[in-house]
């Protein structure tokens, strides 16, 4: 598997801004949200796993959509960004 290219500070800052905007718009969805969170921190799956207290395998499976993470696992991931889990009313203008 190819190594992740190290992102510049500007790229990381932009990813964080985009992630925050998506969170405010209630537009964070698995598995993309977890991958985007990790990338916005400039972390490898291993480092992200160490920080969140989950395994590298869990991170990989969540990011590829192969996992069904528990609320506890998602809470650990969300805490890095000050996010909490909750139900969001579906926007009637959305097609998903």
Cα 36 from Cα 21, distance rounded (Å): 12
Torsion of CA 14, 70, 65, 17, to 10 degrees: -10
Ordered by where they begin, the domains of the chain are 29-83 (1.10.260.40)
Answer yes or no: is pLDDT of 51 > 80. yes
Residue 48 predicted with pLDDT over 90: yes
pLDDT band at 93 (very low <50, low <70, confident <90, very high): low
SS3 assignment, position 70: coil
> What does the pLDDT look like over 11-37, one tens digit per residue?
888 988 998 898 888 888 889 999 999
pTM of the model as a whole: 0.76
Q: What is the pLDDT of residue 66?
A: 96
Dihedral Cα 44, 47, 51, 57, nearest 10 deg:
80
């Amino acid at each position: 598997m190819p190594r992740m290219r190290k992102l510049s500070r500007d790229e990381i800052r932009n990813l964080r801004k985009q992630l925050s905007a998506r969170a405010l718009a209630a537009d964070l969805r698995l598995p993309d949200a977890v991958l985007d969170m990790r990338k916005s921190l400039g972390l490898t799956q291993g480092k992200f796993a160490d920080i969140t207290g989950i395994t590298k395998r869990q991170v990989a499976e969540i990011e590829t959509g192969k996992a069904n993470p528990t609320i506890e696992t998602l809470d650990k991931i969300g805490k890095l960004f000050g996010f909490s889990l909750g139900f969001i009313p579906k926007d009637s203008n959305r097609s998903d």
